[in-house]
Amino acid sequence: MASSAAIRPAMGALGRISSTTTTAATAAVTPRQTLSALLPHQQIASISTTAVLLKRHKYPGARDNRDYSKKRGESAIRRTGTRWRLSMSDEPLPRPVSKEALPPIETDPNHGLWEFFYDRKKIVQTPEQDAAHGRAWTVEELRHKSWEDLHKLWWVCVKERNRIATANWERRKQKLGFGEAEAEARDRTVRSTMRAIKHVLTERFYLWEDARKLAENDPEVDLSGNGPAFTPRQYLESEEPAEGEPQAAEGQAEKAAVEAAVDPAMITTSASQSQQAETRL
């Protein structure tokens, strides 16, 4: 049936060329042919004898002779097919495969999303494992850390909180059991570490601001960035310091100014900082 459907437009075209001639390509016998065989006295012509739309009117301004019927000659009874070629192909279509027949999808062992889980099998930690953590980092400990260290620690905390949130969701939705309180305590510890990091960074910013203010009025410090940033007076007491001396870069100059103005030992902590937390994450 597929092959007959494929040659259908061709058949239609042949039918249009000569409605009565039989061709070798069309193996199927059309009803019209059987009809003509039954009625031998009927005149059969190889060309159409009907009055064709002749182009008789050739004078200027004559009506146009276009065929306005787009489906002229199409007939379901005569099986002419359409007047235009249908776009078809006989390429075999893909057959659907059931999910079970497909090979199982394997996850990459280095996939980044594994980092959302504590355990690749269980996903969630047991309450005992959740509760087995230390205290949070204190502000005093973090004061001695560099910005890079603090930044890394912050991101460790962020990932840990994501893990806790993922485990909480899983525990609640799968109805695994208890463990919410332990997870909450763990989360609180992580948050207190994060708060301590922000505390330290805020302190540093305030110190930097104060140091800058002091340096503005300090004759030993030059904040213009053109000359040497810091010129200690006691070594150059006898003679005037030379101006415009080539020195280090601007960034170093500022750093030197801050270091000169601020003594880290003088930094005092706010007593309000709660240090009851327990982990070093």
Partner 1 sequence: MATSAATAVQQAATKAPFKIGTKQVFLPNHVIAFIRPKPRQPPNLATFVVPLTFNKLDLRDYLYHVYGVEVTSVRSFINQPAPQRKKYTGQWFRPRAQKMMIAELVKPFVWPEPLPEEERDAFDYKMFSRMAKYRKDMEKQLYEKPDPKLRTQKPEPEPVVGLKQQVKEIIESGEWTNEKTLNVKWLDAQWKEVEKDIKF
CA pair distance 235, 69, nearest whole angstrom = 109
In the complex with partner 1, the residue whose CB is nearer, 201 or 207, is 201
Rounded Cα–Cα distance for residues 5 and 80 (Å): 12
CA-based angle 161:163:168, to the nearest 5? 95
Q: How far is the CB of 113 from partner 1 (least distance, A)?
A: 5
**Is residue 9 involved in binding partner 1 (CB under 8 A)?**
no
Does 172 bind partner 1 (CB under 8 A)? Our answer is no
Binding flag, residue 213, partner 1 (CB under 8 A)? no
Q: What is the H or E stretch that residue 188 is in?
A: helix 180-217
- Reported as half-sphere exposure (CB side, CA atoms, 13 A), residue 150 has a value of 20
Tokens 């930094």 identify what position? Answer: 267
Considering only 41, 58, 70, 111, the residue that binds partner 1 (CB under 8 A) is: 111
- Answer for the pair 57, 65: CB distance below 8 angstroms, yes or no: yes
Distance in angstroms (rounded) separating the CA atoms of residues 30 and 22: 9
Of 6, 132, 158, 181, which lies in the binding site for partner 1, with binding defined by CB under 8 A?
A: 158
Q: Is 152 in the site for partner 1 (CB under 8 A)?
A: no
End-to-end CA distance of the chain: 73
Which listed residue (177, 205, 225, 250) binds partner 1 by CB under 8 A?
A: 177
Return the range that interacts with partner 1 (CB under 8 A); candidates 17-25, 50-58, 75-83, 116-124. Answer: 116-124
For partner 1, how many residues bind (rule: CB under 8 A)?
Answer: 44
Partners of 221 in the beta sheet?
Answer: 230
Task: Pick the closest to residue 78 from 31, 46, 37, 38 (CA basis).
Answer: 31
173 binds partner 1 (CB under 8 A): yes
198 binds partner 1 (CB under 8 A): yes
Question: What are the Cα distances from residue 258, in Å, to 2, 40, 211, 218, 229?
Answer: 87, 118, 6, 12, 10
Contacting partner 1 (CB under 8 A), which of 80, 137, 179, 211? Answer: 179
In the complex with partner 1, which residue's Cβ is closer, 168 or 231? 168
226: nearest Cα among 245, 242, 241, 210: 245
The contact mask relative to partner 1 for 18-57 (x = CB under 8 A, - = no) is ----------------------------------------
Rule CB under 8 A: say whether 176 interacts with partner 1. Answer: yes
One residue of 90, 106, 239, 263 binding partner 1 per CB under 8 A:
106
Least separation in angstroms between CB 132 and partner 1: 13
Interface with partner 1 (CB under 8 A): 104-108, 111-113, 115-117, 120-124, 126-128, 148, 151, 154-155, 158-159, 161-162, 165-166, 168-171, 173-179, 194, 197-198, 201
